[in-house]
Structure 1
Amino acid sequence: MGRRSIMSESVVRAIRGRLANGESLRSICRAPGMPSKATVYRWIKTRPEFLQAYLSAREVQEFIDDDIACELAMSVADGLADQDTATSMIQHYRWAAGKRKARKYRPGYNPAAPVCADPAPALDVFTPEERMALAALSRKAAGLV
């Protein structure tokens, strides 16, 4: 027999708060009294009010992760942390932030819209100087400069 899947305001608040504080959905759903991950994903797909709560929690989580990454960088600058360790942790936060921006949860997502396999046409909107600046920023962000 599966767990009950009644969506209550207290469960929504608990999920939202725990997500916003950086806890994984997997961990939250393993806790007693919480719905399964499948139930949460079903709520995301079928209940707009839950989707909004979920998205707002993820947005708050982004701000918190940004603060943590800034603190890590400052701790290196202040000589309190090892640069390699801090860089590795910051890279993880950047990777996780990219994963949280799942296309299907963005407003206006259209699964039937064609996906551009070749990014080159999208670059046509930039001048050669802007493309050079973008490439320099990409190299800097990747730590190649």
Structure 2
Amino acid sequence: MSVSINDIFDDQIAEVLTRLANGESLRSIGNDARMPKHTTFLLWVSKDPVLAEHYARAREVGMDAIGEEILEIVDSSTPDTAARDRLRYDARRWYLSKLAPKKYGDKLDMTSSDGSMSQPSVIRIVAADDRSKD
């Protein structure tokens, strides 16, 4: 049984997409000697609309995997690893907020239900002993 060059490319593409969906970066995948360089893969994506759709979906799933990794980092943190874990947490959170700000970014919603801009409400909390000063 012979293996065609297309079979090799299909296997590489499938592995790249799987690794992306697991949260690995395209650059780190491209550093694997068995895989195409990230620039080569992006060239393939730019020339193939079907591959572009698969790539986008794999990246989306990969971001969720990174989000789950953040939870694992926080859940497994110990006093001895807290500083390193905080750095790992912050880096991943920042990365996700830049790649998918609508899903993972900080959001301040200043619109009302009808879509118009609303004025932020200021709530004053008064302690019991401060009420007599008003």
TM-score in terms of structure 2 length: 0.60
Cα 1:13–1:87 shift into 2, 3 Å: same
Q: Which residue of 2 aligns with 1:39?
A: 40
Answer whether contact 2:46 2:52 (CA < 8 A) is retained: yes
Separation in structure 1 between the aligned mates of residue 58 and residue 80 of structure 2, nearest angstrom: 29
Name the amino acid aligned to 1:62. Answer: M
How much has 1:72 moved relative to structure 2? 2.4
How much has 1:12 moved relative to structure 2? 1.4
Q: Which residue of 1 aligns with 2:26?
A: 25
How much has 1:14 moved relative to structure 2? 0.7
- Which has the higher mean CA deviation after the structures are superposed, 46-55 or 31-40? 31-40
Cα 1:40–1:101 shift into 2, 3 Å: farther
Tell me if 1:98 matches 2:94.
Answer: no
Q: Which residue of 2 aligns with 1:65?
A: 66
Q: Which residue of 2 aligns with 1:105?
A: none
Separation in structure 2 between the aligned mates of residue 33 and residue 85 of structure 1, nearest angstrom: 31
Separation in structure 2 between the aligned mates of residue 15 and residue 82 of structure 1, nearest angstrom: 31
Separation in structure 2 between the aligned mates of residue 45 and residue 8 of structure 1, nearest angstrom: 16
Separation in structure 1 between the aligned mates of residue 12 and residue 98 of structure 2, nearest angstrom: 24
Where structure 1 has 5 or more consecutive residues not aligned to the other structure, the ranges are 103-122, 133-145
TM-score in terms of structure 1 length: 0.57
How much has 1:52 moved relative to structure 2? 1.4
> Aligned residues: percent identity?
25
- Residues 19-42 of structure 1 deviation map (CA, whole Å, 9 limit, x = unaligned): 222332223223334223222111
Candidates 112, 120, 127, aligned match of 2:118: 127
- Residues 56-90 of structure 1 deviation map (CA, whole Å, 9 limit, x = unaligned): 211121111111111222334xx566443332211
Separation in structure 2 between the aligned mates of residue 81 and residue 71 of structure 1, nearest angstrom: 16
The alignment covers a number of residue pairs equal to 107
Q: Which residue of 2 aligns with 1:87?
A: 86
Tell me if 1:55 matches 2:47.
Answer: no
